[in-house]
Amino acid sequence: MDIKENFTGVQHIGIPTNAIHETAAFYHKLGFETALDATLATTGDPAMFLKLGNLVIETYENHAAAMAAGAIDHIAIDVRSIDDAYDFICKNNLNNTNDSIHFLPFWENGVKFFTIEGPNKEKIEFSQML
């Protein structure tokens, strides 16, 4: 599969928070709706996906939010095939985090993802909803 056919656009933008309900209330005032209210299996902390049109923000409470400009944690790229995306990243020596494919039981059937780092230390997540 051609890489341009596999990468279909931004899936979500990840923003850590120290107070998830305050963050959700702020985005609700801007017209966002809660698309998913979840708990992170690894930490037990709350996470929410907030949606406005085709823009999705994943906010998750980690009690370590930078509270400064540049506080967005990651940009997630939607992919049709996580395996093809992973193969492409590895073959092109872009897996600079040595990450592997992970699974979370979010959404109806779960999601698979992995993360690399961009040249400015930004995290880029590749994500396939199952």
Q: Is pLDDT at 43 greater than 80 in this prediction?
A: yes
So what's the pLDDT on residue 59? 93
Among the residues of 30-103, which ranges form H helices? 82-91
Q: Is 62 contained in some domain? A: yes
**Residues of the chain above pLDDT 70, percent:** 100
* pLDDT averaged over every residue in the chain: 92
CA 64 – CA 18 distance, rounded (Å): 6
- Give residue 14's domain range: 3-80
Q: Is 18 contained in some domain? A: yes
E strand or H helix that includes residue 25: helix 20-29
Q: Is pLDDT at 113 greater than 80 in this prediction?
A: yes
- Mean pLDDT value across residues 63-80: 88
47 φ, ψ (degrees, to nearest 5): -140, 150
CA 49 – CA 15 distance, rounded (Å): 10
Strand partners of residue 47: 38, 60
For residue 66, the Cα-to-chain-centroid distance in whole angstroms is 17
CATH number of 15's domain: 3.10.180.10
CA 93 – CA 33 distance, rounded (Å): 38
Q: Is pLDDT at 120 greater than 90 in this prediction?
A: no
Q: Is 23 contained in some domain? A: yes
Q: Is 16 contained in some domain? A: yes
Among the residue ranges 16-30, 46-60, 67-81, the one predicted with the least confidence is 67-81
Nearest to 75 by CA among 125, 40, 114, 27: 125
So what's the pLDDT on residue 3? 81
Q: Is 70 contained in some domain? A: yes
Phi-psi label, residue 75: left if phi above 0, alpha if psi -120 to 50, beta otherwise: beta
Q: Is pLDDT at 1 greater than 80 in this prediction?
A: no
Q: Is pLDDT at 4 greater than 80 in this prediction?
A: yes
Name the domain count of the chain.
1
